[in-house]
A and B are shown apart, each in its own frame.
Chain A
C-alpha cells in the first residue's frame, strides 16, 4: 500500500455528493482529510491523503473524473520560484509540517513537496512572492 496526496477540486454540481465515503466504500481507499475548503453553493477543494492498492487508485480516479471532480497531484499545485527566493527562511517558521526548511550545511531554503499540506501559510510569510499556488 502506497500513500498519495491528492487535491480534489469540486464544482457546485458535485459538492453535495458523499465522495469520500465512496472512495472508502467502493474503492477501499483509506482517506485522511488534511484540508477542506468548500461551500454548498460554490466550489471547493479537498487535500486528501489516500492509501490503497494501485488498481483501486486507478478505478477511483476514473470514478472521480466521471462525476466531474478534477484532481491534481500536490506538486503540480505548488510552485516555488527559486530565483525569486532570497533564502531568508521566513517560510520555515510558519510551515506547520517542515516542508520548507533550512539546509544546515549551506543555509539555503529547501522544499519537500511530500510534506506540504497546502495550508497556504508560506504565501503570507514570503515577502518576495517566491511561493505560488495554482488555483
Chain B
C-alpha cells in the first residue's frame, strides 16, 4: 500500500436504511446475498444494525448529505453522493422510519488511512465477493426533532419478511409480514404459527466499536463535524408527536 502513489476507496452503496429480512419457502437450501437460507422457513437473516444504523437515526437525511465527514474503514471519509438504489419514497411508519430498504450512501475516502479491522473482504457463498465496510456517521443534535430521531430503538424499526425462494426471484411485490428489530434480535420470530430462527448479517459489536471510536475522535478534537454541502434526495417529513 505504501508503494502506491494514490489509493482511495469509492464505495457506491452503503449503510442501507433498513432492508428486507430474507427467508426461504422452498424445499432446498438457497445461497443468497442474504446468507444461507434453509428450506421451509427454517431461518431468516436480517442485514441492518437497526438502532445504530446511521440513516435510521436521521430518517429524512437532514444532517447526512453530500460532504458529510464520516468514519470510513478506520480512517476519515466523506459521503460523496446518494448511494445506488437510494429511494427516499419508501413507505414510512409514524416515526418516519422507512418500512423497507430506502436511503443509501455512496462514500469515498483515503484507503491508506483505513485498516483491515474495519474494511474486510467477504466471500458470500453462491453470490460472489463483497466487502464489509465499517461506517460511522456523526449526527449533530440540531434541535428537538433531531434529538427525537436519534432516540430510535429497535422496536421502532419494522422490516419486511421476504421469501427469497419464490417472491424475491420472481420480483413479486409485497412481503409475508413485518417484523421489528427488537424481535429479530431475540434470535427468533413467530410467523404463521412457525418459529423462525433469526440471525444478523451485520456486526452489532463492530457498530458499537465504530460509534465509540468516532466519539473519541470528536471529543479529542481530531474530527470536525461537517455540514453537508448538498442534501440527499428526500421526502417531506411526517408530523410526529414527541411523547
Contacts and interface: CB of A to CB of B under 8 A. Distances in A.
Tell me, yes or no, whether A binds B: yes
A124 interface: yes
Interface string B21-52: 00000000001000110100001110000000
Contact of B205 (A87, A93, A128): A87
Contacts of B187: 92, 102
Q: Which of A91, A109, A121, A124 counts the most chain B CB atoms within 10 A?
A: A124
B182 interface: no
Nearest to B33: A127
B75 interface: no
A107 interface: yes
A84 to B, nearest CB: 8
B28 to A, nearest CB: 14
Contacts of A90: 35-36, 45, 199-201
Contact of A94 (B124, B199, B204): B199
A89 B122 contact: no
Contact of B203 (A89, A94, A121, A129): A89
A106 interface: yes
A102 B186 CA distance: 10
B19 to A, nearest CB: 14
A121 B200 CA distance: 16
Interface residues of A, number: 20
B38 A127 contact: no
Contacts, number: 67
Interface in A85-110: 86-94, 102, 106-109
Q: Which of B35, B38, B206, B208 counts the most chain A CB atoms within 10 A?
A: B35
A87 B203 CA distance: 5
A86 B203 contact: yes
Contact of B197 (A93, A107, A127): A93
Contact of B36 (A87, A94, A106): A94
23 contacts: A86-B206, A87-B206, A88-B201, A88-B202, A90-B200, A92-B187, A93-B44, A93-B45, A93-B198, A93-B199, A94-B35, A94-B199, A102-B200, A107-B205, A107-B208, A124-B31, A125-B35, A125-B125, A127-B124, A128-B120, A128-B123, A128-B132, A129-B123
Given A88-B200, A88-B201, 4 more contacts: A87-B205, A88-B202, A94-B199, A125-B35
